[in-house]
Amino acid sequence: MSRARVLADFIGGTTTISGNPTFSGTVAGAGAMSLVHSSTATSGTTLDFTGATTAFQSYLVLYGIDPSADGGLTVQFYDAADTPSLLTNADYDQGGVNEGGGQAPSNAHNGTDIDIRTGIGGASAGEFYTGSFFFQNPMDSAHLTSIHGFNHGQGTSGPHVWNVYGGQKQTAEQNKGFQLKITSGAIENAYLKVFGIEG
C-alpha cells in the first residue's frame, strides 16, 4: 500500500499507527509549552518562581492552595538580579471582576502588590482555591510585566467564588519571577506549576 494511501486512511480514522514511531524536524510557527518549574508546599505562606529567562516571552502558571484560615491571595514580582529581591514598592496596578459582576479585587493604582482575591474560604475542611494566570513580558525591559488570570475559591459554607483579575508593574523592567502569598494563616497543602510558552 502506498504511503499516500496509509496517510489518507490514518486521517480518515481507518488505520491505527502501532509501535513507537519517531519524528524528526520541526514544525514552523507551532509553538510549544515547556514545564520550567514545579513545586509543592505544606507550610509557610508563599509560593515562589524566580526562573524567568529571555527564552520565553510568556508563562502559564497553575496553582492550588489549601490555607489554614480564610483570607486573600496576592502577587508581587522579583527583580532581575542574580539573587533576585522581591519588589514591594508601591508600583503595581490591578483590577478584577467577580462572578456577581462587582469588582474583586478592586481597581487600584500605586499598590504594593496585586490582589488575586481579597477574601476567600480556606479554614474549613475541603475548602481550597485554584487558578491560573499568564505571566507576560517578565524579561522584556521595554514592556511592562503583567499578569491576567482566573481564580476559583471552593467553599463549603456558601457558594463557590470565582473571579478574573489582572495587574501590572508600572515600571518597564526585567522581572525574574513572582511570589504568591496568602494573607492569613499558613499553607497546609499547595502546588505551583509554571510553563514557558515558546514561539
> What tens digit of pLDDT does each residue of 94-135 get?
998 887 777 767 788 889 999 988 776 666 777 788 999 999
What are the residue boundaries of the structural domains of the chain, listed by start? Answer: 32-197
pLDDT given for residue 90 in this prediction: 92
Q: Cell digits for 138?
A: 517578565
pLDDT given for residue 152 in this prediction: 87
> What tens digit of pLDDT does each residue of 129-182 get?
899 999 999 999 999 999 999 998 776 666 567 889 999 999 999 999 999 999
Q: What's the average model confidence in pLDDT over 47-62?
A: 97
pLDDT given for residue 3 in this prediction: 66
| pTM exceeds 0.75 | yes
Q: What's the average model confidence in pLDDT over 31-37?
A: 91
Band (29; pLDDT cuts 50, 70, 90): low
pLDDT given for residue 97 in this prediction: 87
pLDDT given for residue 10 in this prediction: 59
Burial of 110 (0-12, 13-18, 19+ CB in 10 A): exposed
Question: Which stretch of 62-71, 75-84, 118-127, 173-182 has the lowest confidence by average pLDDT?
Answer: 118-127
Check pLDDT > 60 for residue 8: yes
pLDDT given for residue 5 in this prediction: 66
User: 32-197, what's its fold?
Assistant: Jelly Rolls (2.60.120)
- List all residues 6 or more positions away from 166 whose beta carbon is below 8 Å from its beta carbon: 94, 95, 96, 146, 147, 148, 149
Check pLDDT > 70 for residue 185: yes
Question: Which stretch of 5-14, 84-93, 113-122 has the lowest confidence by average pLDDT?
Answer: 5-14
Name the residue with higher pLDDT: 59 or 153. 59
